[in-house]
Amino acid sequence: GQQLNQSPQSMFIQEGEDVSMNCTSSSIFNTWLWYKQDPGEGPVLLIALYKAGELTSNGRLTAQFGITRKDSFLNISASIPSDVGIYFCAGQPDNYGQNFVFGPGTRLSVLP
Amino acid sequence: EPEVTQTPSHQVTQMGQEVILRCVPISNHLYFYWYRQILGQKVEFLVSFYNNEISEKSEIFDDQFSVERPDGSNFTLKIRSTKLEDSAMYFCASSGVSGRGGTDTQYFGPGTRLTVL
Protein backbone atom coordinates (compact mmCIF):
# COMPACT_ATOMS: atom_id res chain seq x y z
CA GLY A 1 0.00 0.00 0.00
CA GLN A 2 0.93 3.65 -0.13
CA GLN A 3 3.46 4.75 2.46
CA LEU A 4 4.80 8.14 3.41
CA ASN A 5 8.26 8.85 4.71
CA GLN A 6 9.10 11.92 6.70
CA SER A 7 12.49 13.44 7.34
CA PRO A 8 14.05 14.21 9.59
CA GLN A 9 12.56 11.91 12.23
CA SER A 10 13.45 14.46 14.88
CA MET A 11 15.23 17.77 15.12
CA PHE A 12 16.51 20.09 17.78
CA ILE A 13 16.75 23.75 16.87
CA GLN A 14 17.41 27.04 18.58
CA GLU A 15 14.54 29.45 19.06
CA GLY A 16 14.47 31.87 16.13
CA GLU A 17 15.86 29.41 13.61
CA ASP A 18 14.03 28.34 10.50
CA VAL A 19 12.89 24.73 10.13
CA SER A 20 12.40 22.60 7.06
CA MET A 21 10.92 19.11 6.94
CA ASN A 22 9.61 16.98 4.14
CA CYS A 23 7.38 14.13 3.25
CA THR A 24 8.00 11.73 0.37
CA SER A 25 6.35 8.76 -1.24
CA SER A 26 6.80 6.44 -4.18
CA SER A 27 3.09 6.89 -5.00
CA ILE A 28 1.16 9.86 -6.33
CA PHE A 29 -1.11 11.77 -4.00
CA ASN A 30 -3.93 14.19 -4.80
CA THR A 31 -3.98 16.11 -1.55
CA TRP A 32 -1.37 16.81 1.09
CA LEU A 33 -2.17 17.87 4.60
CA TRP A 34 0.18 18.97 7.34
CA TYR A 35 -0.85 18.47 10.96
CA LYS A 36 0.76 19.32 14.29
CA GLN A 37 0.15 17.15 17.31
CA ASP A 38 0.84 18.18 20.89
CA PRO A 39 1.22 15.44 23.52
CA GLY A 40 -2.10 13.82 24.44
CA GLU A 41 -4.08 15.79 21.89
CA GLY A 42 -5.47 15.25 18.43
CA PRO A 43 -3.74 16.38 15.24
CA VAL A 44 -4.47 20.00 14.38
CA LEU A 45 -4.58 20.94 10.73
CA LEU A 46 -1.91 23.46 9.71
CA ILE A 47 -2.00 23.62 5.93
CA ALA A 48 -3.88 21.83 3.13
CA LEU A 49 -2.49 21.53 -0.41
CA TYR A 50 -4.63 20.49 -3.37
CA LYS A 51 -2.64 21.08 -6.57
CA ALA A 52 0.81 20.09 -7.76
CA GLY A 53 3.17 23.02 -7.36
CA GLU A 54 0.86 24.81 -4.93
CA LEU A 55 2.65 26.92 -2.32
CA THR A 56 0.57 27.96 0.68
CA SER A 57 1.40 29.96 3.78
CA ASN A 58 -0.22 30.11 7.19
CA GLY A 59 1.56 32.70 9.32
CA ARG A 60 5.12 31.52 9.81
CA LEU A 61 4.38 28.22 8.10
CA THR A 62 4.82 27.58 4.40
CA ALA A 63 4.13 24.30 2.63
CA GLN A 64 4.43 23.18 -0.96
CA PHE A 65 2.88 20.37 -2.96
CA GLY A 66 5.68 18.87 -5.06
CA ILE A 67 5.27 18.98 -8.83
CA THR A 68 5.80 15.22 -9.07
CA ARG A 69 2.86 14.82 -6.63
CA LYS A 70 5.06 12.47 -4.63
CA ASP A 71 6.35 14.89 -2.05
CA SER A 72 5.64 17.94 0.05
CA PHE A 73 7.66 20.13 2.38
CA LEU A 74 6.82 22.26 5.37
CA ASN A 75 8.90 25.25 6.47
CA ILE A 76 8.59 27.09 9.75
CA SER A 77 10.30 30.45 9.98
CA ALA A 78 11.61 32.06 13.16
CA SER A 79 10.69 29.16 15.42
CA ILE A 80 9.25 29.79 18.86
CA PRO A 81 8.91 27.45 21.89
CA SER A 82 5.26 26.64 21.14
CA ASP A 83 6.29 25.13 17.81
CA VAL A 84 7.40 22.07 19.77
CA GLY A 85 5.45 18.98 18.80
CA ILE A 86 5.14 16.26 16.21
CA TYR A 87 4.43 17.30 12.64
CA PHE A 88 2.61 14.77 10.51
CA CYS A 89 2.08 14.86 6.80
CA ALA A 90 -0.96 13.07 5.42
CA GLY A 91 -1.68 12.30 1.80
CA GLN A 92 -4.82 11.31 -0.05
CA PRO A 93 -3.92 8.67 -2.63
CA ASP A 94 -4.59 9.10 -6.32
CA ASN A 95 -7.54 6.73 -6.38
CA TYR A 96 -9.76 9.40 -4.78
CA GLY A 97 -10.39 7.11 -1.87
CA GLN A 98 -11.48 8.79 1.26
CA ASN A 99 -8.82 7.86 3.73
CA PHE A 100 -5.57 9.69 4.24
CA VAL A 101 -2.27 7.95 4.78
CA PHE A 102 -0.17 9.44 7.55
CA GLY A 103 3.58 9.70 7.71
CA PRO A 104 5.47 8.68 10.85
CA GLY A 105 5.98 12.29 11.91
CA THR A 106 8.85 14.70 12.57
CA ARG A 107 9.41 15.50 16.24
CA LEU A 108 10.49 19.11 16.68
CA SER A 109 12.19 20.39 19.81
CA VAL A 110 12.94 24.09 20.21
CA LEU A 111 15.72 25.11 22.58
CA PRO A 112 15.50 28.54 24.20
CA GLU B 1 -15.27 27.81 14.79
CA PRO B 2 -16.91 24.39 14.39
CA GLU B 3 -14.96 21.48 15.77
CA VAL B 4 -15.11 17.72 16.17
CA THR B 5 -15.74 16.62 19.76
CA GLN B 6 -15.13 13.24 21.36
CA THR B 7 -16.18 11.60 24.59
CA PRO B 8 -14.90 10.32 26.88
CA SER B 9 -11.42 11.81 26.88
CA HIS B 10 -10.09 8.75 28.69
CA GLN B 11 -11.61 5.28 28.99
CA VAL B 12 -10.18 2.50 31.12
CA THR B 13 -11.61 -0.98 30.65
CA GLN B 14 -10.90 -4.60 31.44
CA MET B 15 -9.79 -6.94 28.69
CA GLY B 16 -12.79 -8.60 27.09
CA GLN B 17 -15.19 -5.77 27.86
CA GLU B 18 -17.06 -3.78 25.23
CA VAL B 19 -16.38 -0.09 24.80
CA ILE B 20 -18.14 2.58 22.81
CA LEU B 21 -16.28 5.70 21.82
CA ARG B 22 -18.37 8.66 20.81
CA CYS B 23 -17.81 11.49 18.38
CA VAL B 24 -19.81 14.49 17.26
CA PRO B 25 -18.52 15.48 13.80
CA ILE B 26 -18.74 18.98 12.35
CA SER B 27 -22.41 19.49 11.57
CA ASN B 28 -22.38 19.96 7.80
CA HIS B 29 -19.78 17.28 7.11
CA LEU B 30 -20.76 14.11 5.30
CA TYR B 31 -17.72 11.85 5.71
CA PHE B 32 -16.67 10.44 9.04
CA TYR B 33 -13.56 8.55 10.06
CA TRP B 34 -11.91 6.75 12.89
CA TYR B 35 -8.15 6.61 13.29
CA ARG B 36 -5.96 4.99 15.91
CA GLN B 37 -2.61 6.02 17.29
CA ILE B 38 -0.67 3.67 19.49
CA LEU B 39 1.59 5.56 21.89
CA GLY B 40 4.62 6.92 20.09
CA GLN B 41 3.53 5.71 16.68
CA LYS B 42 1.89 7.23 13.65
CA VAL B 43 -1.80 7.79 13.09
CA GLU B 44 -3.44 4.75 11.42
CA PHE B 45 -6.65 4.74 9.43
CA LEU B 46 -9.39 2.44 10.69
CA VAL B 47 -12.59 3.18 8.82
CA SER B 48 -14.49 5.76 6.81
CA PHE B 49 -18.25 6.16 6.78
CA TYR B 50 -20.53 7.88 4.29
CA ASN B 51 -24.23 7.79 3.59
CA ASN B 52 -24.86 5.52 6.56
CA GLU B 53 -22.45 2.82 5.53
CA ILE B 54 -18.79 1.94 5.71
CA SER B 55 -17.02 3.09 2.57
CA GLU B 56 -13.48 1.96 3.38
CA LYS B 57 -11.79 0.07 6.16
CA SER B 58 -8.28 -1.03 6.95
CA GLU B 59 -6.94 -4.41 8.00
CA ILE B 60 -7.01 -3.24 11.61
CA PHE B 61 -10.80 -2.85 11.46
CA ASP B 62 -11.71 -6.49 12.03
CA ASP B 63 -14.96 -8.07 13.25
CA GLN B 64 -14.39 -6.76 16.77
CA PHE B 65 -14.97 -3.23 15.52
CA SER B 66 -18.17 -1.61 14.37
CA VAL B 67 -19.30 1.92 13.65
CA GLU B 68 -22.68 3.53 13.78
CA ARG B 69 -24.36 6.84 13.26
CA PRO B 70 -27.29 6.35 15.62
CA ASP B 71 -28.76 9.81 15.09
CA GLY B 72 -28.08 12.95 13.12
CA SER B 73 -25.15 14.09 15.20
CA ASN B 74 -23.25 11.21 16.81
CA PHE B 75 -20.78 8.80 15.25
CA THR B 76 -19.64 5.89 17.40
CA LEU B 77 -16.92 3.27 17.36
CA LYS B 78 -17.63 0.06 19.25
CA ILE B 79 -14.99 -2.48 20.19
CA ARG B 80 -16.82 -5.65 21.08
CA SER B 81 -14.26 -7.49 23.20
CA THR B 82 -11.25 -5.37 23.95
CA LYS B 83 -7.73 -6.72 23.84
CA LEU B 84 -4.61 -5.35 25.48
CA GLU B 85 -3.30 -4.26 22.09
CA ASP B 86 -6.37 -2.08 21.56
CA SER B 87 -4.88 0.43 24.01
CA ALA B 88 -4.33 3.58 21.98
CA MET B 89 -5.63 7.06 21.26
CA TYR B 90 -8.66 6.90 19.01
CA PHE B 91 -9.34 9.92 16.86
CA CYS B 92 -12.53 10.76 15.07
CA ALA B 93 -12.39 13.01 12.01
CA SER B 94 -14.89 14.46 9.60
CA SER B 95 -14.79 16.13 6.21
CA GLY B 96 -17.03 17.71 3.66
CA VAL B 97 -17.10 17.26 -0.10
CA SER B 98 -14.53 19.11 -2.15
CA GLY B 99 -15.38 20.94 -5.32
CA ARG B 100 -12.96 18.74 -7.23
CA GLY B 101 -14.79 15.56 -6.36
CA GLY B 102 -13.64 13.36 -3.52
CA THR B 103 -13.47 14.47 0.06
CA ASP B 104 -12.28 17.72 1.52
CA THR B 105 -9.80 18.27 4.34
CA GLN B 106 -10.27 16.12 7.41
CA TYR B 107 -10.63 17.76 10.80
CA PHE B 108 -9.72 15.74 13.85
CA GLY B 109 -11.23 15.57 17.30
CA PRO B 110 -9.12 15.67 20.47
CA GLY B 111 -9.13 11.90 20.81
CA THR B 112 -10.14 9.30 23.38
CA ARG B 113 -7.36 7.55 25.20
CA LEU B 114 -8.37 3.89 25.63
CA THR B 115 -6.51 1.86 28.21
CA VAL B 116 -7.21 -1.87 28.32
CA LEU B 117 -6.09 -3.63 31.51
Nearest residue of chain B to residue A36 (CA atoms):
B108
Q: Do B106 and A96 touch (CB under 8 A)?
A: no
Nearest residue of chain A to residue B10 (CA atoms):
A40
pLDDT digits (tens, 9 = 90+) for A80-105: 999 999 999 998 876 655 678 899 99
DSSP B36-76: EE-TTS--EEEEEEETTEEEEE-TT--TTEEEE--SSS-EE
Regions of chain A with pLDDT less than 50: none
pLDDT of residue B98: 63
How much of chain B exceeds pLDDT 90, in percent? 63
Q: Do B91 and A101 touch (CB under 8 A)?
A: no
Nearest residue of chain B to residue A31 (CA atoms):
B105
Query: Residue B44's beta-bridge partner residues?
Result: B36
pLDDT of residue B105: 78
Query: A56 at the B interface (CB within 8 A)?
Result: no
pLDDT digits (tens, 9 = 90+) for B46-103: 999 988 999 889 999 999 999 999 887 899 999 999 999 999 999 999 988 765 555 6
In chain A, which residues have their Cβ closer than 8 Å to the Cβ of B67?
A: none
Residue B29 has pLDDT above 80, yes or no: yes
